[in-house]
Structure 1
Amino acid sequence: METCFFEKDPTSSLAPRALAEGIGTCLLMLVAASSGLVAHRLLPDSSALALAASACGIAGSLIGLIVAFGSASGGHFNPLISGLQWLAGERKLSCAVAYIVAQLIGAIVGVLLAHAIFGMPEQIANPETPNWAFVVSELIASFGLMMIVFGCARSGRKDAGPFAVGAWLFAAIIATPSTSYANPAITCAALFADGPIRLGSSTAGLYLLAELAGALIAYLAFQTIYPQRDREATS
């Protein structure tokens, strides 16, 4: 059964599929970094409106990217998705590793492109060590995102998947103190960014641990809710 977050032809060459993941993650990071800068510049006195504008840009871009690249690579753009598919036996390790490497490289290139477009923006200070509420919220955001992704995939809601993910991300960006990075590639690339998306090294490290923990908890949950899978690791 063809479903969302799996490529249409998992036996096709790995290089083009990994390239799709790299390009998609690059564009996602470009929008994430740039939308924050634009919102901060246009709405400097209204943090709520700036956050909502940034959330619209990120969620909208992710929906478009999943629709565009989903048939080619699955449209992950997130190491948590690729890694959990491997853990669930739905993807070969070589493919998961290639996807994750492409995602990390793509996210860093996206930051560099954002800087090339806007120049080096004025740094906006972020706390080096976040409040624990931020870390817990990142765990919850990652848990929720993985539940949405694998819930849509395993229930066969192919057409709904991209929009469900975009809707969750929009809500989570606004509703969580951490603004829902929920993506290790974006979190790592944020170390090289300036502007609202920038993270310090200790913050990024804690967020990465929280994202991994949230994803693993989600894995246990969706394996219980949707225990049956007829897809073998052919990719």
Structure 2
Amino acid sequence: MTTERAQTCFFEKDPTCSLASRALAEGVGTCLLMLVAAGSGLSVHRLFPNSPVLALAVSAAGIAGSLAGLIVAFGSASGGHFNPLISGLQWLGGERKLRCALAYIAAQLVGAVLGVLLAHAVFGTPVHLAHPQVPSWSLVASELIASFGLLMVVFGCARGARKEVGPFAVGAWLFGAIIAMPSTSYANPAITCAALLANGSIGLNSTTAGLYLLAELAGALLAYPVFTVIYPQRHPEVASFKRRCRVTDRGER
């Protein structure tokens, strides 16, 4: 392993660890992230029922802070994605094998569902398909922009910053995007799917979730060529280690 590679954001420190253990890290991290996202929505509704601006800021701080902490905690084990868009674009860029990306995405989806169920169990509230309203196109466009921005920050850090920077850069972007974007910046298909079961401000109905999923995918696909142009080539030692990730990962054989 090269020192350069060990300092890279959003890639596991040791790709020879079993795929099961790395996927478990992604599942647990996503579960805890969704627990905070759903729990903060329920909590601020109780604490600040007449102050939506304050409620939004508090919720954004909780989600962004928890995500930064989770990336620090699990980044060395799995890369700390907790988001199918990140795992999928790493596969698209040849940085991760398809089997690994699919295992990560499956773990993220399961983890998010478990997280929302756990949040409602803690608060003693029922889960349900929430909010019958269909979103406006401005909300869908907002979700596309939020996803584009998130992926730019993630891959900008992964290709151009030290390992320690990534968690806090992503947390800072998410805090700002939740407040600035009218869709409140889900920017994560696992969270969006699990929000179908959520009460509170994070809850979505099936139509809204479907449109948001399309917008998130479009935002990610738009971000991919942009950050590829900005960072067209990695350090040769990093590229060599990435090839090792694809070839020697015994968990994917």
Note the alpha carbon deviations across 1:167-217, whole angstroms, 9 max, x for none.
000000000000000000000000111111100000000000000000000
Quick check: 1:121–1:195 contact (8 Å CA) kept in 2?
Answer: no
Match of 2:26 in 1: 21
Task: Name the TM-score, length of structure 2 as normaliser.
Answer: 0.90
1:74 aligns with 2:79: yes
- 2:50 maps to 45
Aligned residues: 235
Q: Within the alignment, does 1:117 sit opposite 2:122 as a pair?
A: yes
Deviation at 1:122, TM superposition (A): 9.3
- Structure 1 distance, partners of 2:138, 2:46, is 27
1:87 to 73, 87, 92: 92
**Amino acid of the residue matched to residue 10 of structure 1?**
P
Q: Which runs of 5+ in 2 are unaligned?
A: none
Structure-2 residue corresponding to 1:171? 176
Out of 78, 102, 108, the position equivalent to 1:103 is 108
CA RMSD of aligned residues (A): 1.4
Cα distance in 1, alignment partners of residues 48 and 132 from structure 2: 21
Gaps of 5+ in 1: none
More deviation in 2-11 or 100-109?
Answer: 2-11
Give distance in 1, aligned partners of 2:127 and 2:22.
36
Q: Which among 144, 149, 167 is matched to residue 139 of structure 1?
A: 144
Cα distance in 2 for partners of 1:181, 1:208 equals: 9
Give CA deviations for 1:129-148 in whole Å, capped at 9, x if unaligned: 10111000000000000000
TM-score of the superposed pair, with normalisation by structure 1: 0.97
Contact 1:191 1:200 in 2 (8 A): yes
State whether structure 2 residue 184 is matched by structure 1 residue 183. no
User: How many angstroms does 1:119 deviate by?
Assistant: 1.2
Change (3 A) 1:6 1:202: same
Residue deviations 1:29-63 (CA, integer Å, cap 9, x gap): 00000001111110000000000000000000000
Which amino acid in the other structure matches residue 130 of structure 1?
P
> Sequence identity of aligned pairs in percent?
75
Structure 2 CA distance for aligned equivalents of residues 31 and 8 of structure 1: 26
